Amino acid sequence: MDQVVATPVGHAEAGLGSSPADTAEEAKPPPRRALTRRPSPAPQATRGQSSRPQPARGSRPRAGNRTPVNPRTDAFRRRFFPEATVAEWNDWRWQVRNRIRDLAGLERIFALSADERAAVLAHDGPLPVGITPYYASLMGLDDPTEALRRTHIPVSGEHLRSPGEEDDPLGEDHDTVVPGLVHRYPDRVLFLTTPFCSTYCRYCTRARMVGETGEYTFGVSAWERALGYIESHTEVRDVLLSGGDPLALHDDKLEHLLRRLRAIPHVEFVRIGTKMPAVLPMRVTRDLARMLARYQPWISIHFTHPDEITPEVATACARLADAGLPLGSQTVLLKGINDDVETMRRLVHGLLRNRVRPYYLYQCDPIKGSAHFRTSVDKGLEIIRGLRGHTTGYAVPTYVVDAPGGGGKIPLIPDPVVGRDGDDLLLRNFEGAVHRYPDPEGTLGRALGGR
């Protein structure tokens, strides 16, 4: 990839309407009109989830763009941000402005372990600490082993480089055709729209480029070069907007991109990869959903753990689904965080309840400092084996290894072929029983023999 300077996408450069830059650092409180619309319908996903957080009584904002506040989160707000009104709390720009970004911010809220503290102090380079107050409210404040906390607070393992780890393990820089545009597969491109995320996952594949101090930037001049490339390459029918997080862009800038892409005749399919609905669900305002509905992108949402599925997230997913946008999930398999069948089952069931189709389960990419996050491939297959046949087929994601060096996604499935007995193919079902399928013309399983 071309090396470019790490400045966030700026309004001055963008010239795309009245919203400030997508860093949202300069963001203002929401316009009054945004606080006076009628309330959204109750989220469907909380039905039958009595043990999950429910909206707090008396804590609902008056806003039409309102999001429910679950009791745990509301208690967190009152304890750590007592000056914030519920309306402010539910304003995504307030959340971005008030992110936890340094040691002092972390220590105000979390009882840090010595290892976490040392890791934060030792941090240097891209992938800064960044946690929205909302997402922090879901974390274990006193427990360094809690799942969501482990994904966002650095530990010393992050500073170790293990064998096979790379800064750019997928070779994206090699396949970058203009700054911010990766063209690896024949008919589709990856469009890196912004280096900004509202929260920074410590296992991020693009750790080298996200955050305010990354080596890259994807300003609007870069967008124009990328759009020009797409316009001139008629084989590109599928564009994935990613980053960073494209939903960190303000509505008008994102709409500009979507409008431009939809005006290209050969672009049939546009996707947005985002973690916002999970970590900053108040970003999914009705205004955003209405705007997206005009361009009908598919939405790939990065979910990690069932604890992310709150009434707030249910509302965000419902707004997107009600706008007619197909929703899929992407999840990274993480050691000690979501690498057991029961946790994954709870996650995929929660996603289906929210009309999100579990799509990809990724083996964690070998970025620098990821050894403490990576599991064996055996573990991933064990999870798929524990889901396939045991629950709804729609709930079972495709487990993939993104081959280091740019080999692309390689799906892995537990092999059901036991062997062959004459004309019969022998197949093992989800319960371990071997069944015959008449396959007289086949050769599959011949080398394995009979059972």
195-224: contacts with ligand SF4 (CB under 6 A): 197, 200-201, 204, 206, 210
In the complex, what is the shortest distance from the CB of residue 165 to ligand SF4, in angstroms, rounded to a whole number? 16
Q: Which of 327, 377, 380, 332 is nearest to 356 (CA)?
A: 327
User: For 190-254, what is the HEC assignment?
Assistant: EEECCCCCCCCCCCCCCCCCCCCCCCCCCCHHHHHHHHHHHHHCCCCCEEEEECCCHHHCCHHHH
Asked if 245 touches ligand SF4 (CB under 6 A), the answer is yes
Looking at the Cβ atoms of 34 and 106, the one nearer to ligand SF4 is 106
Q: How far is the CB of 138 from ligand SF4 (least distance, A)?
A: 15
The smaller minimum CB distance to ligand SF4, of residues 35 and 279, is found at 279
Catalytic residue IDs: 184-185, 188, 197, 201, 204, 206, 365, 402, 409
| CA dist 276 → 17, 79, 114, 130, 369 (Å) | 22, 24, 30, 13, 24
Nearer to ligand SF4, 92 or 200 (CB): 200
Q: Among residues 94 and 135, whose Cβ is nearest to ligand SF4?
A: 135
Q: Among 253, 273, 181, which residue's Cα sits nearest to residue 22?
A: 253
Instruction: Give start and end residues of each alpha helix (H) in 297-376.
Output: 311-322, 341-353
Interface region with ligand SF4, contact rule CB under 6 A, candidates 108-116, 238-246, 323-331, 357-365 = 238-246
Per-residue interface string for the shown chain with ligand SF4, residues 67-96, x marking contact by CB under 6 A: ------------------------------
Which is closer to ligand SF4, CB of 208 or CB of 256? 208
Backbone conformation region of residue 21, classed left if phi is above 0, alpha if psi is from -120 to 50, else beta: beta
Comparing CB distances to ligand SF4, the nearer of 197 and 347 is 197
- What is the smallest separation between the CB atom of 182 and ligand SF4, expressed in angstroms? 14
CA dihedral angle for residue 172, residue 317, residue 27, residue 214, rounded to 10 degrees: -20
- Which long-range CB contacts under 8 A does 173-176 form with residues at least 24 apart? 173/1, 174/406, 175/406, 176/1, 176/2
User: What count of residues does the chain have?
Assistant: 451
**Per-residue string for binding with ligand SF4, 285-324, x by CB under 6 A?**
-----------------x----------------------
Residue 91 and residue 86: Cα distance in Å, rounded? 9
Residues 6+ apart with CB under 8 A from 432: none
DSSP assignment letter at 170: T
To the nearest whole angstrom, how small is the minimum distance from the Cβ of residue 373 to ligand SF4?
Answer: 12
Minimal distance in Å, beta carbon 62 to ligand SF4? 31
Measured distance CA(73)–CA(151) in Å, rounded: 19
Select 206 or 319, whichever has its Cβ closest to ligand SF4.
206
205/285 with CB nearer ligand SF4: 205
Which one of 41-49, 221-229, 239-247, 417-425 is the stretch in contact with ligand SF4 (CB under 6 A)?
Answer: 239-247
Range 107-136, binding ligand SF4 (CB under 6 A): none
Phi, psi (rounded to 5 degrees) for 254:
-65, -40
Preceding amide of 244 cis, omega within 30: yes
Using the rule CB under 6 A, give the single segment among 62-70, 74-82, 89-97, 242-250 that binds ligand SF4: 242-250
Residue 448 — φ and ψ, nearest 5°?
Answer: -85, -15
Q: Shortest Cβ distance from residue 290 to ligand SF4 (Å)?
A: 24
Q: Which of residues 371-410 bind ligand SF4 (CB under 6 A)?
A: none
Number of residues that bind ligand SF4 (CB under 6 A): 11
Structure tokens at 146: 């809690």
Minimal distance in Å, beta carbon 156 to ligand SF4? Answer: 19
- Give me the least distance between CB of 198 and ligand SF4, in Å please: 8
Q: Which two tokens stand for residue 409?
A: 């996604």
Residue among 126, 243, 281, 397 that touches ligand SF4 (CB under 6 A)? 243
For ligand SF4, which stretch binds (CB under 6 A), given 77-85, 118-126, 194-202, 428-436? 194-202
Which 261-290 positions form the footprint of ligand SF4 (CB under 6 A)? Answer: 275
C-beta of 199: minimal distance to ligand SF4 in Å?
A: 6
Which letter does DSSP use for residue 44 in this model? G
Q: Where are the beta strands (DSSP E) in 126-192?
A: 176-178, 181-182, 188-192
The residue from 244, 277, 311, 366 that contacts ligand SF4 (CB under 6 A) is: 244
Distance CA 131, CA 134 (A): 8
d(CA 95, CA 198) in angstroms, rounded, equals 9
Q: How far apart are CA 130 and CA 127, in angstroms?
A: 9
Q: Which is nearer to ligand SF4, 201 or 361 (CB)?
A: 201
The residues of the shown chain that bind ligand SF4, judged by CB under 6 A, are 197, 200-201, 204, 206, 210, 243-245, 275, 302
